[in-house]
Amino acid sequence: MNRSLLLKLLSAAIVFGAWEIAGRVPVSYAFPTFLDSMTALFAMSIDGTLLRAYGETLRPLVAGIAISALLGIVIGLWIGLSEFCDWLFSPIFIVMQAAPLAALIPLLVMAYGIGLTSKVFVVCIMAMPVIVLNTASAVRNTPSSLKEMGRSFLGSDFDIVTRIILPSASPIIFSGLRLGISAGFIGAILAELKITPTGVGDIITYSRSIADYPSMYAAIFSIILLAVLFLNLLERLEGQLFAGNNRGYVSD
């Protein structure tokens, strides 16, 4: 644990140090130093600007992630358990994952307007394919020997799914959930930049328009920091839930 924490702190120090040096060179007049950006971040936190912005940003993000997690796992289980459903629905989610999201946003705006619904759809389009495909792959690749053992003990299909397939696939399903949530953060900010500038996206757009680059980079840094913290919490939760299946992470 101490080694992992030390490596993370060292990595952060290298990145922030390089950021500070690049801002002082400077690599661009629009690239502020790390200290200037953190000063702007502190100022926005104190005056409540950042808190109000996240009040807007988290609405489509939380709704989209909740929908993606629930439907994604259910659909993934369905696809993984049925060859017909795999043949029928897997290509749809593969195309969704590969499609350029920016090209789909105008279609969502035409269909659902510029409100909350469109932004939730953007988060779902980003997050759900990852969750579905990981869940389906985990279920599909459950060792056949375990399923045959369940049948030899006269287990029903429901027993095999709930007592063998799900416990075996859970670590990979949870990893897919982490990846989907990470994509959801990207979708939430992209929606605010491309549909209507609200929340953190509004800070980024407005700061860029008035050349307040420290505030712009501070807003970008804040969403990255929130995503990293949330994913680290999920990583720790995964480690607690699936200690026997711990595969390790690069951060370790």
- Is 220 a domain residue? yes
Indicate whether 18 belongs to any domain.
Answer: no
Give the pLDDT confidence of 188-246 residue by residue, as tens digits. 888 888 887 788 888 898 888 898 899 999 999 999 888 888 888 887 777 777 665 55
For the segment 35-46, what is each residue's pLDDT rounded down to a tens digit? 999 999 999 999
Q: Total domain count for the chain?
A: 1
pLDDT (mean) for 120-125: 88
Q: CB within 8 A of 173, min separation 6: which ones?
A: 73, 76, 134, 135, 138
Residue 155 lies in a domain: yes
- Provide the residue type at 175 as one letter: S
The answer to whether residue 28 sits within a structural domain is no
Kindly report the pTM of this predicted structure. Answer: 0.78
Helix runs in 47-115, H state only: 49-81, 83-98, 101-112
- CATH for 66: 1.10.3720.10
Per-residue pLDDT tens over the stretch 131-161: 999 988 888 888 777 777 877 777 777 778 7
Report the half-sphere exposure of 133 (CA within 13 A, side-chain side).
17
Asked if residue 123 is part of any domain, the answer here is yes
Query: Any idea which residue has 């999920």 for tokens?
Result: 234
Model pLDDT, residue 103: 75
Q: What is the mean pLDDT of residues 75-85?
A: 86
